[in-house]
Amino acid sequence: MTDRSPEMTAASTLVIPGRRPAAGWQRVARRLWQLRTATLSAVFLVGLVLMAVFADFIAPYNPYEGELVDRLKPPVWEQDGSWAHILGTDQVGRDNLSRLIFGARVSLAAGFLATVVAAAIGVALGLMAGYIGRLADTVISTLINIQLTVPFILLALLFIGAVGPGLVIAGYIAVNVIIVLGVASWPIYARVIRAEVLKLRELDFVTAARCLGISDGRILLRHILPNTVNSIIVLSTVQVARFIITEAFLSFLGLGTPPPTPTWGSMLADARQFMFDKWWLPTFPGLAIFITTLAINLFGDGLRDWLDPYSRNV
C-alpha cells in the first residue's frame, strides 16, 4: 500500500475558481431549456386550460346566440371583416372565437376525464394480472386480446350508437362519451402495467416485503404501483390527445356532446357545406384540434425524456 503524496491530495481536492456546483433551480432551468419544445407546449396547454376554465369571462359573446344580420362574416383581416368578430361568424351569426373558446372545455374535459377512467380500470387490472398471475392473468390477458382485436374507433361508435351521449353535466361533459372512451381504452394501460409488474415482482425489494409478511395489497399499492407512475404519466399524455381527436370525430358525426353545446367537432360538421367558399369556418376548429393534440404529444415526449433521460439514446 502506497501513501498518497500531498501533491496528489491537493490535486484531488482542487476547486477551479469561478466554478460552483449548480443550484437546484439552475439545474431545473437548464433542463427546461434543453426541453424547451416541451416547455413551450406545457405553457400553451396551461393557457388553454385556463381559457377553458374561465371561458365565461374571456369569450366576447354568448356562443349559443347569434344575429342573422351578422351571418358568415369573415375574419378581421379579410375584406368585410371587422374587429367585432375577430375570427368571423358562422351560418347563424354566432361568434367563432367564442365558440372555439367554449369548445375547448368539451375537448379538454373529454380528454382528461376519459383518460382517468381508462387509467383507473387498466392500471387496476394490469396490477392484478401481473402480480397475482395464474387464472387472473389468463382471464385478463384474454379480455385484453379480445378487445384489442376490435378497432378503437369502431368500438366507440358501436357503444355510443347504442347508448347515446347520455347525461350532460355542467352543460358540456357528456357522461356516456367519457365512459365509452375510457372503457374502450383500458387494455392499453393494462398491457403496459402488466409488463411492468411482471418485472418488478421479481426484484429484491418485493421479495423482501413478502418475507416480512406484508400483505399483497400493501405490496401492490406501496411498493409496485409507485414504480409504474412514470409509465402511467407518459402513456396518459398520448391518450389525452387520442381522446380529444376521437371526441371531435364523434361530435362531427353527431354522436358526441349534443347541441347546442359548441364543440370543435360539431363546428367542423356545421362548416361542411361552406368548406370551399367560407374557408374560415372549417379552418379554425381544425387548427384548434391540430395544435392542441400536437402540443400534448410534444409535451408527452419531453415528459418522457425528463422522467427517463436514457430513453433519448434508444
Query: How many Å apart are CA 136 and CA 151, to the nearest integer?
Result: 25
Query: How many Å apart are CA 123 and CA 194, to the nearest integer?
Result: 8
Q: Which residue has the higher pLDDT, 43 or 165?
A: 43
| Secondary structure of residue 235 in the 3-state scheme | helix
Tell me whether residue 23 is in a domain: no
Rounded to 10 deg, the angle between the 96-132 and 36-53 helix axes is 120
Tell me whether residue 17 is in a domain: no
Average pLDDT, the chain: 82
Tell me whether residue 247 is in a domain: yes
Q: Tens of pLDDT along 229-281?
A: 888 988 999 899 999 999 999 889 888 888 888 899 999 998 888 888 888 89
For residue 60, give its domain range.
Answer: 49-68+83-313
Give the closest residue to 181 by CA, choosing from 240, 263, 100. Answer: 240
Tell me whether residue 43 is in a domain: no
The single-letter code of the amino acid at 48 is: L
Question: In angstroms, what CA-CA distances link 207 with 22, 65, 133, 195, 217?
Answer: 38, 64, 16, 18, 14
Rg (CA), the chain: 26
Tell me whether residue 13 is in a domain: no
Tell me whether residue 295 is in a domain: yes
Q: Which residue has the higher pLDDT, 2 or 281?
A: 281
Tell me whether residue 272 is in a domain: yes
Q: Tens of pLDDT along 18-43?
A: 445 445 566 656 666 667 788 889 89
What pLDDT is attached to residue 2? Answer: 46
Q: Tens of pLDDT along 55-108?
A: 999 999 998 888 888 888 888 888 887 888 889 888 888 999 999 999 999 899
Residue 197, domain CATH: 1.10.3720.10
Tell me whether residue 238 is in a domain: yes
Q: Tens of pLDDT along 107-147?
A: 999 999 999 999 999 999 999 988 887 888 899 999 999 98
What pLDDT is attached to residue 170? Answer: 59
What pLDDT is attached to residue 72? Answer: 84
Q: Which residue has the higher pLDDT, 195 or 35?
A: 195
The number of distinct structural domains making up the chain is: 1
